[in-house]
Chains A and B, each alone.
Chain A
Amino acid sequence: MTENQSKVNENNQCNVCNTVTPFIKELCQTYLPQKDNLISMLNEVQEKFGYIPVEAQKGLSEYLQIPMAEIYGVITFYSRFTLEPKGKYTISVCLGTACFVKGSQKIMDRLTQKLGIEAGQTTEDGLFSIDETRCVGACGLAPVFTVNGEVHGRATVKMLDEVIDQLLAEEKASQ
């Protein structure tokens, strides 16, 4: 890592610190310092930042009087919580039974092939993340995939290609 890059990284991290700490403070005002509030608070952090920054873990640890190791244990247990930042677009393919029976594995295969990453990973440019989800409840539209929560139903490989190509084109245009 060159000196410049490390400086950039430091700056980025500080940006996160700057937003995480006030957010945690705010959160502590809405929740009582009871241990059973941990998961609800983590859900809010995940929702806000797309992952759970270590600063947030520290903040919650102090407020709720729970050791960091235990918080780490909880975060890694639940699939909704992640420790790494997600890409700008999170594409989730439903691998619930109803979608699986209708061929969602093919959609997932195409997606990992097209983006060159596995489920749970993020592309190097930070643009795309792939998730596998179990049932978003839109079984009537199976198979489905979602892009940042927006559902694309009765999905085909072709439709997936079009959606990704369009996002790439939009990104290119905005640069």
Chain B
Amino acid sequence: MKTLEEIHQIRTQKRKELELRTNAKADTREKHILVCHGTGCTSSKSPQIIENFRAILAEKGITHVRVIQTGCFGLCAKGPIVIIRPEDTFYSNVKPEDCEEIIQTHILEGNRVERLLCKDVDGSKVNRLDELAFYQKQERRALKNCGLIDPENIDEYIAFDGYLALERILREGISPEEVIDIIKKSGLRGRGGAGFPTGKKWELTKINEADQKYVVCNADEGDPGAFMDRSILEGDPHAVLEAMIIAGYAIGATKGFIYVRAEYPIAVHRFQIAINQAREYGILGKEILESHFDFDVEIRLGAGAFVCGEETALLESIEGKRGQPRVKPPYPAEKGLWGKPTLINNVETLANIAQIILKGPEWFSSIGTEGSKGTKVFALGGNVNNIGLVEVPMGTTLREIVYDIGGGIPGGRDFKAAQTGGPSGGCIPKEHLDIPIDYESIKTIGSMMGSGGLIVMDDTKCMVSLAKFYLEFTVSESCGKCTPCRIGTKRMLELLEKLCSGEGTELDLYKLEKLAINIQKSSICGLGQSAPNPVISTMKYFREEFREHAIAKECKTAECKALAKITIDPEKCKGCGLCQKGCPVQAIDGEAREKRVINQDKCIKCGTCLVSCPFHAIS
């Protein structure tokens, strides 16, 4: 247990110690080697890098250099990432065997290791982190501590004003009503997807009287290809914990749960450490920070069910049952966990709370658009150069995210579409690249903000097969409670499979659309209601492609194997005849030493000729 006085001392002392992290001109001999320890970099051996650095430093007896594991820097494609501060040198794609050279050349001789310096998309070397085009248009607020502090050390969080917001509230007598008022004024909306005003949600939960209320943090980030919440939990777990305590104070709850996917072992581990440390410091548990407020938090693990991201299904799962959604109303604010009023907020929403309290609602609402304030974190993935985690002010255009921050499409290919909102969202085609990303605008073009997955696709992707991919996901994740979702999505998938295998007809397109609208209208929960979105939006923007599949039986991208046309390029064909010999159905015509042609009526698209051609003339 620490006294308030001791916590203040830690803050001042640590802040001084960590000055070199934020100030490149810090007057110190000390150096910090920051190594990303998020899931992305861990997968490419960053723990080994940390170990090697520490071993080498110990062996050489270097004491003025510390190695620190941090959360995600955002630029996952260039991982593992090593940053040396205060000078802010940015090394990318570092291997465990590079550690020796970094210590020798950079630390001991004072020269940069040129070959490891991060390169920008245009090939130029980047000396400092903030020189990268990737960071230019970003505004890191929810991610402010990710990559800056050691997430397993509460002192480092405290150093950067951690738990100061909580202290102000509890010690300076800010009433729960005032806290809710601040959040309402800020205009913060739920970052989990639907965008419900957060302050309003707090208020609704507060006004329902009960002997017990709960705060639940939704960290069941099920959207495949999205990893915002995971990165926040891995990089800055205390920010989420602090916000949960503040929320508990505001609505009158003394107990909180965080529901995390079991597939996120690092996030779970870090959050547990955060809980333990906070308890030790008297920030969690009884009489928090010497006040009269009690609050405690427990972790609950998910077990791989996408539907549990839906708030009522999540509550069922916390209660130990099958995660099937409840019929709403009553909403959780009225009857939630074990029938008690429950506040459910998403990780990224909570990551904004403490800063809003400290810096004021005006600070928060100073950026963003009319209806969507603040920033949004996106997990940028797919066919884009800078895959990673980005945080931009609301209202930034899709073009800026894909081209300025994301560095464009690899291989000089064309942008075809971007999918936001995962299996519940829709795709945004090229003609809408200049749309500002906020809750309202994105809805007008048939997609949704979603939790922040943003997958970019180039012109080699088939939209029919993409729609099929999402339906496969929904079918396997449908909980089975209501008929439209359980049976309807299965039927939709069958229609899409028909289209992809060349057996579809124009009538199927009509059936598909009709079924989609019926499922949207009649499903119980958000998962079912939004399941047809990927189909509806791809059919809206890529109607021609669907018609090609249905009528001309053609897939121009050749992703649908059954519809792919295998042809021989007459320019490259040397007439060797190897393809003819290998063809199991004699579908290749042409005499000896003549250029060969594929008879499309006979061809079964087995692909044997593709492999046998020594001149790569067949595609």
Interface on A for B, CB 8 Å cutoff? 34-40, 42-43, 46, 66, 73-74, 77-81, 95-102, 133-142, 144, 151, 153
User: A96 to chain B: which residues have CB within 8 Å?
Assistant: 224-225
Among residues of B, the one whose C-beta sits closest to the C-beta of A96 is B224
B306 contacts across to A, CB distance below 8 A = 134
Q: A36-B318, A79-B305 are in contact. Are A137 and B39 (CB under 8 A)?
A: yes
**Closest approach, in angstroms, between the C-beta of A141 and any C-beta of chain B?**
6
Q: List 18 A-B contacts (CB under 8 A).
A: A39-B303, A77-B479, A79-B304, A80-B262, A97-B455, A100-B469, A101-B382, A101-B455, A102-B383, A134-B306, A137-B39, A137-B227, A137-B264, A138-B40, A139-B381, A139-B387, A140-B387, A144-B43
**Which residues of A sit under 8 angstroms from B78, Cβ to Cβ?**
140
Contact A97 B304 (CB under 8 A): no
- Min CB distance, A66 to chain B, in Å? 8
- Nearest Cβ distance between residue B65 and chain A, in whole angstroms? 27
B residues 468-526 in Cβ contact with A at 8 Å? 469, 473, 476, 479
A81/B303 in contact, CB under 8 A: yes
Question: Once the chains bind, are A97 and B43 in contact (CB under 8 Å)?
Answer: no
A35 and B457 form a contact (CB under 8 A): no
Given A140-B77, A153-B43, output 19 extra A-B contacts at Cβ < 8 Å. A34-B320, A40-B300, A43-B303, A73-B322, A77-B323, A78-B303, A78-B323, A80-B303, A81-B304, A96-B225, A98-B379, A102-B383, A134-B306, A134-B473, A135-B227, A136-B43, A136-B263, A139-B381, A153-B44
Compute how far the CA of A95 lies from the CA of B477 in the bound complex, rounded to whole angstroms. Answer: 13
Residue of A35, A36, A151 most packed against chain B (CB within 10 A) = A36
Is there a chain A Cβ closer than 8 Å to B226's Cβ? Answer: yes
**Chain A, Cβ-Cβ closest to B303:** A78
- Residues of chain A within 8 A of B323, CB atoms compared: 77-78
Q: Is the CB of A101 within 8 A of B224?
A: no
CB-contact partner of B301 in A43, A66, A98, under 8 A: A43
Judging by beta carbons under 8 Å apart, are B322 and A98 in contact? no
B319: which A residues are within 8 A, CB to CB? Answer: 35-36
**Given A35-B319, A74-B322, A137-B40, A95 and B262 touching (CB < 8 A)?**
no
B75's closest neighbor in chain A, by CB?
Answer: A140
Q: Which A-chain residue is minimally distant from B322 (CB atoms)?
A: A77
Chain B interface size band reads 35 or more
Q: Are B387 and A39 in contact (CB under 8 A)?
A: no
- CA A38 – CA B317 in complex, angstroms? 10
B406 on the interface (CB 8 Å rule)? no
Please, which residues of chain A bring their CB within 8 A of the CB of B303? 39, 42-43, 46, 78-81
- Nearest Cβ in chain B — how far from A25, in angstroms? 20
Residue of A nearest to B419 (CB): A97
CA distance A97 to B455 in the complex (A): 7
Closest to B299 in A: A40
| Bound-state Cα–Cα, A135 to B453, Å | 11
- A140 contacts B382, C-beta separation under 8 Å: no
Check if B40 sits within 8 Å of A39, measured CB to CB.
no
A102 to chain B, nearest CB (A): 7
The answer to the question of B422 belonging to the interface, with a C-beta cut-off of 8 Å to chain A, is yes
Instruction: Say whether, besides A78-B305, A140-B388, A101 and B479 are in contact (CB < 8 Å).
Output: no
C-alpha gap A79/B261 in the complex (Å): 12
Question: In the complex the two chains form, is A39's CB within 8 Å of B317's CB?
Answer: yes
A151 to B479, CA, bound (A): 29
In whole angstroms, what is the CA distance A97 to B40 when docked? 16
In the bound complex, residues from chain A placing their C-beta under 8 Å from that of B322 are 73-74, 77
Q: How far is the CB of B480 from chain A (nearest CB, A)?
A: 9
Question: When chains A and B are docked, how far (Å) is the Cα of A43 from the Cα of B304?
Answer: 11
| Of B79, B301, B382, B422, the contact of A40 (CB 8 Å cutoff) | B301
Known A78-B303, A97-B455; contact A141-B383, beta-carbon cutoff 8 A:
no
B321 CB within 8 Å of chain A:
yes
Alpha-carbon distance between A40 and B419 when the two chains are bound, in angstroms: 34
Whether the Cβ atoms of A101 and B321 lie closer than 8 Å is no
Are A97 and B263 in touch, CB under 8 angstroms?
no
